[in-house]
Amino acid sequence: MSINRVKGTYDVLPNESYKWQALEDIIRQTLTLYNYKEMRTPMMEYSEVFHRQTELSDMVMKETYDFFDRGDRKLTLRPEGTAGVIRSYVENKLYTSQELEKIFYIGPNFRYERPQKGRYRQFYQFGVEAIGSVNPELDSELIILAYDFIRRLGLKGVKVKINTLGDDASRKAYQEALEHHFRPHVHELCKDCQERIDRNPLRILDCKIDQNQKVVKEAPVPLDHLNETSKAYFDEVLKNLNAVGISYEIAPKLVRGLDYYSHTVFEIEADIEGFGAQNVLGGGGRYQSLVKELGGPDLGGIGFACGMERLLLALEAEHIELKSEEVLDAYILVLDDALKITASKILYDLRHQGLQSDMNYSNKSFKSQLKHALKMNAKYLVILGQDEFKKGLVGIKDTKTEIQENVPITKISEYIREKVGK
């Protein structure tokens, strides 16, 4: 029996990892520009961090990896980034030092889903959270950030879909209106949605089974149930987006069925060849109850997250290369065993001088070493043979022009540095 990777997981092979690194570079650069700082939380948490009383999303109920460790502690592999960040924010009392904490995270999440293209059981997300204060400028900053990030990747047709659920009172009024709307049609809904009427009717709007039902399509929208405070808050968010010239669209039916959202909810999409409705690249919203639920003070936050596999698939579909595969500046070919120690010294010096380099360790023929060198995509070949070495020289070959020059052994790094501009 061969041992394969776990179902729903994938390997990033050495010739693909540069894409991940390039994506992570842009994420880090953009978020640093907006003054967000990275937080790294563990991949496992005590189960109650995710399995909270009010967090009854299908994802958390049906898809988490829950297990007991050898000390009989009930643990869960994180299925998303926010809850762990908030747990840490509360545990480390970050609210005592700053009125507003701006955090980002990058890392793997785990969900027991049916694997398909772009959907895995271990997948990467990056996300941001601005925790501690509630004001509309912060909501718009986060949306601007998300928009800016997707644009920086080079994707076209970037658009924000935005909606509001309003404050607690508006949201409650809306939930009641929904309940009222669905109650007489309970038997037209799927089994799960029949229960959702009592627990959280908002979820019905996101139901994959019922989404095309007439009664779902005709459901009331949150905008019709906003009180004055909530309307003013939303207007302020939109004003800021207008001021910066972000292209957005109000999506009255967007609710992102999570229990903890209030005020702003949004999704960000782009035009991606062949993606159709799968073009949502990330989403998020404001939350009020989460910090308190995880044992902290009554402070709100806003966050969003993007799936990184989907971003990479989008870039591939749009033929966007963030950074080309790493190429070596220099690659040493050793034509005589006796020169191996000299080669090691040259290699150490090349690397010390900041030149990305390697050597051939194979003892094979010149022809075979050359073949390998060209596969490595090296810019310059340093050829070490006895005849030249006796004269204190090495051959350096430019693999593009195929021009070869003899260079004094003491000047190798200097020569290549000048050529590659390092």
Interacting residue with ligand AMP among 87, 102, 111, 263 (CB under 6 A): 111
Q: Is 58 near ligand AMP (CB under 6 A)?
A: no
x-marked contacts with ligand AMP along 266-295 as a string, rule CB under 6 A:
--------------x-xx------------
d(CA 128, CA 284): 9
Q: Is 207 near ligand AMP (CB under 6 A)?
A: no
For residue 222, give the DSSP letter.
G
Interacting residue with ligand AMP among 310, 359, 413, 416 (CB under 6 A): 310
Q: Is 305 near ligand AMP (CB under 6 A)?
A: yes
> Smallest distance from the beta carbon of 190 to ligand AMP, in angstroms?
20
Interacting residue with ligand AMP among 24, 113, 179, 236 (CB under 6 A): 113
Q: Is 84 near ligand AMP (CB under 6 A)?
A: no
Q: Which helix (H) or strand (E) holds 58?
A: helix 58-62
Q: Is 64 near ligand AMP (CB under 6 A)?
A: no
In angstroms, how far apart are the furthest CA atoms of the chain? 96
Q: Is 57 near ligand AMP (CB under 6 A)?
A: no
Q: Is 149 near ligand AMP (CB under 6 A)?
A: no
**How big is the site for ligand AMP, counted in residues (CB under 6 A)?**
15
Smaller CB separation from ligand AMP, 57 or 413: 57
Interacting residue with ligand AMP among 30, 88, 125, 140 (CB under 6 A): 125
Q: Which stretch, 113-121, 150-158, 188-196, 197-205, contacts ligand AMP (CB under 6 A)?
A: 113-121
Q: Give bridge partners of residue 397 from the DSSP assignment.
A: 381, 404
> Smallest distance from the beta carbon of 109 to ligand AMP, in angstroms?
7
From residue 386, give the alpha-carbon distance in Å to each of 10, 337, 411: 47, 10, 18
Q: Is 206 near ligand AMP (CB under 6 A)?
A: no
Q: Which stretch, 221-229, 302-310, 351-359, 361-369, contacts ligand AMP (CB under 6 A)?
A: 302-310
d(CA 290, CA 95): 14
Q: Is 126 near ligand AMP (CB under 6 A)?
A: no
Q: Is 307 near ligand AMP (CB under 6 A)?
A: yes
Smaller CB separation from ligand AMP, 109 or 357: 109
d(CA 88, CA 90): 5
Smaller CB separation from ligand AMP, 179 or 309: 309
Q: Is 82 near ligand AMP (CB under 6 A)?
A: no
Q: Is 196 near ligand AMP (CB under 6 A)?
A: no
Handedness of CA 240, 245, 251, 257 (dihedral sign): negative
From residue 98, give the alpha-carbon distance in Å to each of 87, 237, 247: 16, 23, 32
Q: What is the side-by-side strand order in the sheet with 44-46? A: 44-46, 74-77, 65-68
Interacting residue with ligand AMP among 36, 50, 105, 123 (CB under 6 A): 123
Handedness of CA 334, 339, 341, 346 (dihedral sign): negative
* Cβ neighbourhood burial of 274 (10 Å; 0-12, 13-18, 19+): exposed
- Which is nearest to 168 in space by CA: 260, 36, 73, 48? 260
Smaller CB separation from ligand AMP, 87 or 111: 111
Q: Which stretch, 99-107, 287-295, 307-315, 353-361, contacts ligand AMP (CB under 6 A)?
A: 307-315
Q: Which helix (H) or strand (E) holds 315?
A: helix 308-317
Smaller CB separation from ligand AMP, 120 or 260: 120
Q: Give bridge partners of residue 46 from the DSSP assignment.
A: 75
d(CA 200, CA 289): 15
Q: How many CA atoms lie within 13 A of 190 on its CB side?
A: 14
- Contact in structure between 408 and 389 (CB atoms under 8 Å): no
Q: Which stretch, 128-136, 301-309, 317-325, 341-349, contacts ligand AMP (CB under 6 A)?
A: 301-309
* Site of interaction with ligand AMP (CB under 6 A): 80, 111, 113, 118-120, 123, 125, 280, 282-283, 305, 307, 309-310
